[in-house]
Amino acid sequence: MDKDQVAAVLMEIGTLLELKGENPFKTRAYANAARTLEGLDEPLERLLAEDRLGALKGIGEALQEKITALATTGRLPYYEELKASIPAGLVAMLQIPGLGPKKVKALWDRLSLTTVEELEAACLAGRVATLDGFGDKTQAKILEGIAHRRQYAARHLLSDALAAADPILEGLRAHPDVIRCSSAGSVRRFKEVIGDLDFVVSSKQPAAVIDFFTRQPGVQSVSAQGETKASVILAGGLQADLRVVSDREFPFALAYFTGSKEHNIVMRQRALERSLRLNEYGLFRSPTETRDPALLVPCQTEEEIFAALDLAPIPPELREDKGEFAAAERPPLPRLLEWSELRGSLHNHSNWSDGRHALEDIATQMAALGCAYWAITDHSKASFQANGLDAPRLRRQIDEIRALNDRLADQGTEFRLLTGVEVDILKDRLDLNDDLLAQLEVVVASLHVAGSDEADNTQRLIRAAQNPHVHMLGHLTGRLLLEREPYRVNVQAVLDACAETGTWVELNCNPYRFDLDWRFWPYAKIRGVRCAINCDAHRNEHAGFLRLGAGVARKGWLTRADVVNTLPWPQLRAALAAKPNGLRQEKASKSRSARR
Ligand code: DGT
Ligand code: CA
Ligand code: CA
Ligand code: ZN
């Protein structure tokens, strides 16, 4: 175990002892030791090897033994026995606001309650209110806490989080006592699924800002309110946390609360290596933890904090400790994609299959939005539940799109609809013949009915990539966030096949999908696989997904050059033609060399 893992066990031992009613000095000793370990500037291993554990403040012989056992064997019989002697549900009860170890112990001793569910039932039956030290008010508060815990245990889609965050930010920005404000946390890092919203504000009147925050429309309840911070629950159970700091502290608090935790740990470490201390309050010229303004290395912005640690500015999307430090040490960092660089979407549906709008409607709308092109890729016939197109209907659609484009050209409109299909990848072939696919401008191949066998799914996708008429693979893993896990597939093997065949991979920017996941894009990029950021639009308003898709692409380190739908139409047309031509030439040259 490393020091953080050991610290977590010590912390838990302290809590368990409190639940047992042990004397406070003993329980506090464990919590203090845990904090000491967390604050160590060097690996626990080294301390042990050099026998220096005893030199740490507050760590006596008994604790030394336990820490050594955990660090070297990963186990501690004392901890395991203690844990086994206390129902796990009691620890869960501690998370309910207003329930400390004393109260939980009372509930356990006097009502034999051992789980949150039993506690809820006892509250509903009015039994908790009858206990000494509880009463009606406490009982109601516990019930409310249980209901909230259930709600905010839930995770939320990024799109829902952004929709909730935007009006809050606008309100804060307009408030007269707010100097600077920003969203922070996983929303600012553009994670696909988020736990809660975080905001950081600088102000000289924190009380006024906190008051405003807790009373704004949409707040269902206030779960915490202090002098510099507050937490509220919004409709849908989404929690929002606010921190109010001085303007001097703002960049430090913003960087800290943007995270991620993993990123912050490396930042702190870099500071230590320079004999500095970085925390949410500042960057200090100090060998020990401090908040002393006299020692501050002043920074007006996050950029200046990065610079003080010899780093190029790291965009929030990259702050996951997944390579950003190595890149920022040797600038320049890649200039990440901007959403305004996208010129259209290459996978969309119309009312010919399961989309809402007619072709003409879509063309008018997307031209008005400023797109250069928009591909119509309706489902193929195997997707019968989506009214998929068979060959004759698809041929008719091609004719209609061509006629529509002619009319647009006559009117002097530069915009064009592209012909296409989202062809189903069946067990052993594609749902439409190559002759027909060859006539389309954009062919997306998607696996809609995957099997349970990883090798089989992987092979199906690889075969699709090998088809010279397939330009890209759609929603490669089939995941639906918070609803359905990805199907089993070897993503790297599929990406390798895409690299070899010049097949693109979609970043489907429907907020339930964001598929392919941002975590795979750096690998795709190294292999030279290009990305198409597609709305998979079924309605015109889904064009707005492009903006989300661009953010996810940034999180995957993608730049304009990596994304095909940043190309103007003439270049895109050439790129679309490159695959079949390239593969045909390769085939021809192979058969020539075979004949020789
Ligand atoms: P979420 O809300 O679960 O989607 O994820 P985050 O990243 O927004 O996490 P949250 O809201 O708990 O905290 C916001 C940021 O605060 C987090 O990204 C980093 C920072 N932070 C919170 N707790 C810790 C901690 O224990 N250590 C460090 N180094 N940073 C922390
Ligand atoms: Ca958060
Ligand atoms: Ca938070
Ligand atoms: Zn699809």
Per-residue pLDDT tens digits for 263-306: 999 999 999 999 999 999 999 999 888 899 999 999 999 999 99
Peptide bond preceding 583: is omega within 30 degrees of 0, i.e. cis?
no
Question: Could you write out the DSSP letters of every residue in 176-193?
Answer: TTEEEEEEEHHHHTT-SE
Answer yes or no: is the C-beta of 596 below 6 A from any ligand 1 atom.
Answer: no
CB 432 within 8 A of CB 394: yes
Nearest CA to ligand 1 atom 30: 261
Determine whether 168 is exposed, middle or buried from the number of CB atoms within 10 Å of its CB (0-12, 13-18, 19+).
Answer: buried
> Where is 496: in which H helix or E strand?
helix 491-501
- Total number of residues shown for the chain: 596
| Amino acid at the residue 452 | S
- Check if 239 has its Cβ closer than 6 Å to any atom of ligand 1: no
Residue 334, both tokens: 């890649």
| Helices (H), ranges, 125-184 | 135-152, 158-174
What does the pLDDT read at residue 316? Answer: 98
Mean pLDDT score of the chain: 93
Instruction: Kindly give, in sequence order, each residue whose CB lies less than 8 Å from that of residue 223, ignoring residues fewer than 6 positions away.
Output: 97, 148, 231, 232, 233, 239
C-alpha of 579 from chain center? 33
Please state the pTM of the whole predicted model. Answer: 0.78
Q: Is 260 in the pocket of ligand 1 (CB under 6 A)?
A: yes
Give φ, ψ of 87 to 5 degrees: -60, 135
| CB atoms closer than 10 angstroms to residue 265 | 13
Bridge partners of 51, per DSSP, are: none
Name the strand (E) or helix (H) holding 329. helix 324-329
Structure tokens at 250: 């703002």
**Coil, strand, or helix at residue 426?**
coil
- Neighbour-count burial of 195, counting CB atoms closer than 10 A to its CB (0-12 exposed, 13-18 middle, 19+ buried): middle
State the distance from the centre of ligand 3 to the C-alpha of 170, rounded, in angstroms. 19
Which stretches of the chain score pLDDT less than 70?
151-153, 583-596
Mutate to test the pocket of ligand 1, among 260, 265, 302 (most ligand atoms within 8 A of CB): 260
In ligand 1, the atom with minimum distance to the C-alpha of 191 is 4
Ligand 1 atom 29: the closest Cα is on which residue?
261
Burial class (CB in 10 A: 0-12, 13-18, 19+), 431: buried
CA–CA distance, 37 with 44 (Å, rounded to integer):
8
Q: How far is the CA of 91 from the centre of ligand 2 (A)?
A: 23
Q: Which residue has the tokens 């940034």?
A: 554
d(CA 319, CA 255): 10
Q: Are 408 and 367 in contact (CB under 8 A)?
A: yes
The beta strands (E) that lie in 54-137 are given as none
Distance (Å) of CA 546 to CA 106, 247, 341, 507: 54, 34, 10, 10
Q: What does the alpha-carbon distance between residue 303 and residue 306 come to, in Å, rounded to a whole number?
A: 5
Which residue from 262, 314, 305 is spatially nearest to 281, judged by alpha carbons? 305
Compute the distance between CA of residue 268 and CA of residue 281 in angstroms, rounded to an integer: 12
Report the first-to-last Cα separation within the chain, whole angstroms: 63
- Cα–Cα dist 253/282, whole Å: 8
Rounded to the nearest whole angstrom, what is the distance from the C-alpha of residue 437 to the centroid of ligand 3? 49
CB distance 265 to ligand 1 below 6 Å: yes
Q: Which pLDDT value is given to residue 591? A: 61
pLDDT of residue 100: 87
Give the span between the Cα atoms of 133 and 109, in whole angstroms. 14
Check if the beta carbon of residue 518 is closer than 8 Å to that of residue 477: no
Tell me how far the alpha carbon of residue 536 lies from the centroid of ligand 4, in angstroms.
Answer: 7
Decide: 198 in ligand 1 pocket, CB within 6 A: yes
